[in-house]
Amino acid sequence: MTQRIPVVENILNANDRLAEENRARLDSAGVFAINLMASPGAGKTSMIEQTLPRLKDRLRIAAVDGDIATSIDADRAAAAGALASVQINTGGECHLDAVMLQGALNQLDLTQFDLLIVENVGNLVCPASFKLGTHKSILVASVPEGDDKPYKYPGMYRGVDALIINKIDLLPYIPFKMDYFQRGVEALNPGVITFPISCRTGEGLDAWIDWLLQNVKR
């Protein structure tokens, strides 16, 4: 299987170059972009549904939603107040890449937005390897996934700029040791900013919204 490595490296180099082009387009239009990554069902779309109503009077927001199939997520983003939402169906691919985001950017008049939220495919592995050109990478972890995930998926935890711990409302019902989880995070990504949140109850969302606003306005 060693023959595969050069092919993969070439694809990643090409992807990185295109990610830089995406970033330049976003910057020249004044758009701040985040890449939301997570396991399937950790709550990426719920985060978008909670974030948009809190910001839509202050920022012009577009959403790009990557999925293997369906437009469920883009529909939910539009319903929550995104001025524009673009669905990328990856056709079986397990992650977004810079080419796919380029295709989505082509469908948007970037000068009309302040914030672009990109929702990646639900996957704790592959999305970490493909830069998109966004400014910040955000991981949405969730309590029911278990407290061992930083140890088992180090690539994802190592590379992100912020960590959301969603579904904290389920902590009473699940054996999840927050200390053990956070020690794993700290070893991989020292000092990473962390937001314990419940999309269901709204707990913890204010700190996340403040952080996002501060970053957009920089």
- Burial of residue 57, with CB atoms counted within 10 A of its CB: 0-12 exposed, 13-18 middle, 19 or more buried: exposed
**Options 11, 24, 79, 207; binder of a second copy; rule CB under 8 A:** 11
Q: Write the binding mask 75 to 114 for a second copy: x where contact by CB under 8 A, - elsewhere.
A: -----------------x-x----x---------------
Residue number, 160 or 212, with CB nearest to a second copy: 160
Q: Which two tokens stand for residue 200?
A: 């269901």
Residue number, 161 or 169, with CB nearest to a second copy: 169
Q: Where are the beta strands (DSSP E) in 106-149?
A: 115-119, 136-142
Q: Where are the beta strands (DSSP E) in the chain?
A: 32-38, 61-67, 84-89, 115-119, 136-142, 162-166, 193-196
Candidate ranges 29-37, 107-115, 122-130, 189-197; the one touching a second copy (CB under 8 A): 122-130
Let me know how many helices (H) and strands (E) the chain has, helices first: 8, 7
When asked if residue 169 is in the footprint of a second copy (CB under 8 A), the reply is yes
User: Nearest distance from residue 210's CB to a second copy, in Å?
Assistant: 27
Question: Residue ranges of the alpha helices (H) in 37-134?
Answer: 44-55, 72-80, 98-105
Is residue 76 within 8 Å of residue 159, measured between CB atoms?
no
When asked if residue 144 is in the footprint of a second copy (CB under 8 A), the reply is yes
Q: Where are the beta strands (DSSP E) in 82-161?
A: 84-89, 115-119, 136-142
Candidate ranges 28-36, 148-156, 191-199, 206-214; the one touching a second copy (CB under 8 A): 148-156
Nearest to 26 by CA among 121, 105, 91: 105
When asked if residue 174 is in the footprint of a second copy (CB under 8 A), the reply is yes
Is residue 36 within 8 Å of residue 120, measured between CB atoms?
yes
Within residues 24-43, the interface with a second copy by CB under 8 A covers 39-41
Candidate ranges 29-37, 112-120, 153-161, 204-212; the one touching a second copy (CB under 8 A): 153-161
Q: Give me the residues that bind a second copy (CB under 8 A), please.
A: 1, 4, 7, 11, 39-41, 67-70, 72-73, 92, 94, 99, 121-126, 129, 142, 144-146, 148-149, 151-155, 167, 169-170, 173-174
